[in-house]
Structure 1
Amino acid sequence: MFSVHLSEIPRTISFRTALMFLALFGCSFLGLFGYIYWQTAGYLKSEVDTALYRQIDTRSRQAPVLRQQEIRQHAEQDIEGHAPHALFDANDQPLAGAIQTLPAFKKYDKPYEFDWRAPHDRNRPVRFMVHRLENGQTLLVAQDIHDIREFDELLVQALISGGALLLVVGLLGAIALGYSARRRLEALGRSIERIIEGDLSGRLPTRGNRDDIDRIASVVNGMLDELERLMSEVKGVCDDIAHDLRTPLTRLIAGLERAQRRNLSKEEYAAAIDAAIEEAMGLLQTFRALLRISEIEVSARRSNFAQVDLNQIAADATELFEPLAEERGMTLELVPSAKPANLSGDPQLLFDAACNLLDNAIKFSPDDSHIQVTVIADATHSGIRVKDQGPGIPEAEREAVFRRLYRSESSRHTAGNGLGLSMVSAVARLHDMTLQVQDAQPGCQIDLMGKSGNRWEGRDPAVEAELGIR
């Protein structure tokens, strides 16, 4: 019994894929948030710098006495020190303004920052700019950027908290995906173990959403269907061989034993040997038919596929069996299709399949009866229909008759080996055709139908490649 452990989750492809996308999304998130932070902070500082340049330009245009007087008035009005101005003499001694000490700077008319102890003993970050006046005095204008610093801190905190939330949610999602994938793989593993233990009727579970695992499971289920069918046929063949070949082998052995025990004349020995050869040839023919069916089922003949006209196939098969039908007084009618009945396939195999259908129809139909061969063709399907006036096939046996060596009780005394319809069924599977048995009232109707034109219309090429079908 399988169980999902936390240590197994990181090894799943879903978990690793989720981590990869989490990393990609995290990098995208950091890049986007960093760009927004950089643009916002740069915009706010550029606005402050623009205001500082404008104030320097205004102060520079004033007369020295008026400038000094207005800076003193500005200091009295700006109690909080949000936009302090200051004026220094040529020796950097304060003349007017809230700032009494000239802060360190490198160049005139360039923005710098420093922490200023404003009135009421509060340290406030300010952005300032220093300008040398024409009379040798130094003008300093500044702007409190405490709000901008707080906004920067809020952005950084949002970045950190958002990144942490993204990481937690992403990890939880990756674990959930990994756990779900692991559970699904465990279910597949349990199904495979049951199949390995001998339950060939078991199938891999699917969800019906056609994702990657569903497609693989569908391909494997198709393979298991084929394996189950082949195993069932092998078992049926073994049972039928033990049942049906026992009689000819018994006759062969009994004839040879009689010839060995008795004093037979030369003619009687020759007759016994002829009878033995006939029985052996019948057995050899049966095994040859079995080998040919196996060859067809492993797709060994697909290299000979070409465009085939079923009208021609049906005409050739009908012409071949006309003498046999005439011997028994039967009427063999061919009804060709008015439209081209083309499909891709092996012409020899399709001809053999049509001949087997006709052979069965003639074999099991009474003398002086009517057999009709019809070629069907429409926009999507092409096929051959053989209708006779024989005893028909009971509905309960319409699937069994396609098994190798299967013969119903009513046909056991009829010549044959029970492989004709098995060969037709193998040809139908090779050509992706359907084989249906229906009641003709009276008689039997067998339809061999396939899709017109493209041989691969009924299958997904990707699935065929995964199944290894040539």
Structure 2
Amino acid sequence: MSSVRLSDIPRTSGFRVGLVFLALFGVSFSGLSGYTYWKTAIYLKQEVDANLYRQVDSRTGQPAALRLQEIRKHADQDHEGRVPHTLFAEDGSVLAGALQALPPGEKFDIPREFRWDKPGGGHRPIRFIKHRLEDGTLLVVAQDVYDLLEFDELLVHALVSGGIVFLLVGLVGAFWLGNSTRVRLNALSEAIKRIVEGDLSRRLPVKGSYDDIDRIATVVNGMLDELERLMSEVKGVCDDIAHDLRTPLTRLIARLERAQRRGLQAEEYAQTLDAALDDAKGLLSTFRALLRISEIEDSVRRSHFAAVDLNRIGWDAVELFEPLAEERGITVQMIESTRPATIAGDPQLLFDATCNLLDNAIKFSPDHSTVTVQVSEAERRVTLTVADQGPGIPEAERDAVFRRLYRSESSRHTVGNGLGLSLVAAVSRLHDLKLEVDDARPGCIIRISGAELIG
């Protein structure tokens, strides 16, 4: 894995997504913090104002003499001047209370604030209400709001500190996310580079978290599996063409050259031409089958999909091959599912695939044996199985037999061109079906499964 430079991280999509979410959460945090601060400050001031109004109402309801006496008594008890009540004459002189001067401002009965210079030194923030009494005197009810302002300052500091911590944690998270994305993309880039250089067995790393990158890597890996299979088939086809088609071509050329060099009778010429025509037709049939497989793999036939009953396909194939099987005393039996096995597919291609499987089964089965075609259904999935009692397919060759023109050593002298199972594989891929080879002990079982019931 290549190293990740710090300067590369801000350019990653993960880092940028992290910053976007940091900005969104930052705006949300700021809005929530501002709203919390605003509501708290308003609530505390309203509580102070409500208490001041209650004090004004209480003092206003007292007789003048009692009010003067109570204010003097209150001033003696409130040594720290936390709630300084003061009564002023009309000219502004102090009659009783802790304040030495009338607070500034012409408005009455409205809470306001000012800075009170205390007689002993220092100053305190005071919130007060100035009220004119019936006798013309002025009542000032006040409350020290130093604690309120201190709490307000602490709240602001806490919100700012929380915002800074939030920002730092968000930036660290964005860098971590960007680094994580960069590391994964570096691993993907390295794997793709190896693939481009020719290592088709290499696959993109999958973390297992099933996130977007994992989904893309899984799709690309599936594409690489298919590409590797096709490349392997191309190589195998080239090898098999060179091996299997060389013999009929050599035989055809030899016959024609022999006919050219020797003076043959008309009957011998006719026999030679018939044999050459048979070889040429065999070659043409092989190439025609190759073209048909290519057409199937290109999904050209998907437009012909319709509702197909695999039970009907199986019976039609059995009826077609029963005469051929009877010549060797082979019994072909059909076991259908208990309900209609209707799937979406191309009827002709599915019939051709079944016929190829049945043809192979009869071809490699011993005389007086049994070949079974079975259609079964479980959990709304249909399976078509063809089983014989022949020599079977060795486990090492079970993947290779579906390659075009592949023929095992044991079947090279059997009539055929090695394309039957390749066509079956192509039809299975077109229909998204799973093709499996198993051992019947004795014999071979080929199973086409995964078709979903419709209707």
Query: Do Structure 1 and Structure 2 share a fold, with TM-score over 0.5?
Result: yes
Instruction: Work out whether residues 333 and 371 of structure 1, in 8 Å CA contact, stay in contact via their aligned partners in 2.
Output: yes
Structure 1 residues 115, 392: CA separation in 2 closer, same or farther (over 3 Å shift)?
A: same
**What is the CA–CA distance in structure 1 between the aligned matches of 2:387 and 2:54, rounded to whole Å?**
104
**What is the CA–CA distance in structure 1 between the aligned matches of 2:443 and 2:32, rounded to whole Å?**
78
Instruction: Work out whether residues 289 and 419 of structure 1, in 8 Å CA contact, stay in contact via their aligned partners in 2.
Output: yes
Instruction: Work out whether residues 335 and 372 of structure 1, in 8 Å CA contact, stay in contact via their aligned partners in 2.
Output: yes
**What is the CA–CA distance in structure 1 between the aligned matches of 2:308 and 2:10, rounded to whole Å?**
55
Structure 1 residues 74, 366: CA separation in 2 closer, same or farther (over 3 Å shift)?
A: closer
Matched to 1:6, the amino acid is: L
**What is the CA–CA distance in structure 2 between the aligned matches of 1:449 and 1:240, rounded to whole Å?**
29
1:385 to partner: Cα distance:
2.3
The superposition leaves residues 323-355 of structure 1 with CA deviations (integer Å, 9 ceiling, x where unpaired) of: 222333333222333332222221111100111
Report the counterpart of residue 22 of structure 1 in structure 2. Answer: 22
Aligned counterparts, 1:285-296, within 5 A? 285-296=285-296
**What is the CA–CA distance in structure 2 between the aligned matches of 1:345 and 1:190, rounded to whole Å?**
41
Identical pairs, percent: 66
Instruction: Work out whether residues 332 and 370 of structure 1, in 8 Å CA contact, stay in contact via their aligned partners in 2.
Output: yes
**What is the CA–CA distance in structure 1 between the aligned matches of 2:55 and 2:112, rounded to whole Å?**
15
Matched to 1:402, the amino acid is: F
**What is the CA–CA distance in structure 1 between the aligned matches of 2:60 and 2:19, rounded to whole Å?**
60
SS of the aligned residue for 2:83 comes to coil
Report the counterpart of residue 402 of structure 1 in structure 2. Answer: 402
The superposition leaves residues 199-248 of structure 1 with CA deviations (integer Å, 9 ceiling, x where unpaired) of: 11111111212111111111111111111111111111111011111111
Matched to 2:420, the amino acid is: G
**What is the CA–CA distance in structure 1 between the aligned matches of 2:4 and 2:424, rounded to whole Å?**
49
Structure 1 residues 398, 253: CA separation in 2 closer, same or farther (over 3 Å shift)?
A: same
Matched to 2:430, the amino acid is: L
**What is the CA–CA distance in structure 1 between the aligned matches of 2:302 and 2:257, rounded to whole Å?**
46
Report the counterpart of residue 308 of structure 2 in structure 1. Answer: 308
Report the counterpart of residue 124 of structure 1 in structure 2. Answer: 124
1:435 to partner: Cα distance:
2.3
1:121 to partner: Cα distance:
0.9
Report the counterpart of residue 468 of structure 1 in structure 2. Answer: none
Matched to 2:305, the amino acid is: F
Aligned counterparts, 1:374-389, within 5 A? 374-389=374-389
Is the deviation greater in 145-154 or in 428-437? 428-437
SS of the aligned residue for 2:436 comes to strand
Report the counterpart of residue 350 of structure 2 in structure 1. Answer: 350
1:116 to partner: Cα distance:
0.5
Matched to 1:444, the amino acid is: C
Instruction: Work out whether residues 431 and 450 of structure 1, in 8 Å CA contact, stay in contact via their aligned partners in 2.
Output: no
Aligned counterparts, 1:161-176, within 5 A? 161-176=161-176
Report the counterpart of residue 104 of structure 2 in structure 1. Answer: 104
**What is the CA–CA distance in structure 1 between the aligned matches of 2:338 and 2:78, rounded to whole Å?**
104
SS of the aligned residue for 2:67 comes to helix
Aligned counterparts, 1:417-456, within 5 A? 417-453=417-453
**What is the CA–CA distance in structure 2 between the aligned matches of 1:289 and 1:167, rounded to whole Å?**
68
Q: Does 1:47 align with 2:59?
A: no
Instruction: Work out whether residues 311 and 340 of structure 2, in 8 Å CA contact, stay in contact via their aligned partners in 1.
Output: yes
1:436 to partner: Cα distance:
2.5
1:165 to partner: Cα distance:
0.6
1:106 to partner: Cα distance:
4.1
Report the counterpart of residue 208 of structure 2 in structure 1. Answer: 208
Matched to 2:147, the amino acid is: D
SS of the aligned residue for 2:360 comes to helix
**What is the CA–CA distance in structure 2 between the aligned matches of 1:96 and 1:441, rounded to whole Å?**
118
Aligned counterparts, 1:65-464, within 5 A? 65-453=65-453
Structure 1 residues 193, 337: CA separation in 2 closer, same or farther (over 3 Å shift)?
A: same
Matched to 1:150, the amino acid is: E
Instruction: Work out whether residues 80 and 119 of structure 1, in 8 Å CA contact, stay in contact via their aligned partners in 2.
Output: no
Matched to 1:28, the amino acid is: S
The superposition leaves residues 364-419 of structure 1 with CA deviations (integer Å, 9 ceiling, x where unpaired) of: 23344332222223334323322223332222222221111011112111111000
SS of the aligned residue for 1:308 comes to strand
TM-score when scaled to structure 2? 0.95
Instruction: Work out whether residues 310 and 375 of structure 2, in 8 Å CA contact, stay in contact via their aligned partners in 1.
Output: yes
Matched to 2:275, the amino acid is: A
Q: Which runs of 5+ in 1 are unaligned?
A: 456-470
Is the deviation greater in 300-309 or in 153-162? 300-309
Give the aligned CA root-mean-square deviation in angstroms: 1.9
**What is the CA–CA distance in structure 2 between the aligned matches of 1:412 and 1:80, rounded to whole Å?**
115
Report the counterpart of residue 465 of structure 1 in structure 2. Answer: none
Q: Which runs of 5+ in 2 are unaligned?
A: none
1:289 to partner: Cα distance:
0.8
Report the counterpart of residue 463 of structure 1 in structure 2. Answer: none
Report the counterpart of residue 57 of structure 1 in structure 2. Answer: 57
1:305 to partner: Cα distance:
1.9
**What is the CA–CA distance in structure 2 between the aligned matches of 1:378 and 1:168, rounded to whole Å?**
57
Report the counterpart of residue 37 of structure 1 in structure 2. Answer: 37
Instruction: Work out whether residues 308 and 343 of structure 1, in 8 Å CA contact, stay in contact via their aligned partners in 2.
Output: yes
Instruction: Work out whether residues 342 and 454 of structure 2, in 8 Å CA contact, stay in contact via their aligned partners in 1.
Output: no
Instruction: Work out whether residues 339 and 378 of structure 1, in 8 Å CA contact, stay in contact via their aligned partners in 2.
Output: no
Number of residue pairs matched by the alignment: 455
The superposition leaves residues 160-183 of structure 1 with CA deviations (integer Å, 9 ceiling, x where unpaired) of: 111111111111111011111110
1:454 to partner: Cα distance:
5.2
Structure 1 residues 97, 421: CA separation in 2 closer, same or farther (over 3 Å shift)?
A: same
SS of the aligned residue for 2:20 comes to helix
Is the deviation greater in 264-273 or in 38-47? 264-273
Structure 1 residues 393, 54: CA separation in 2 closer, same or farther (over 3 Å shift)?
A: closer
SS of the aligned residue for 2:300 comes to coil
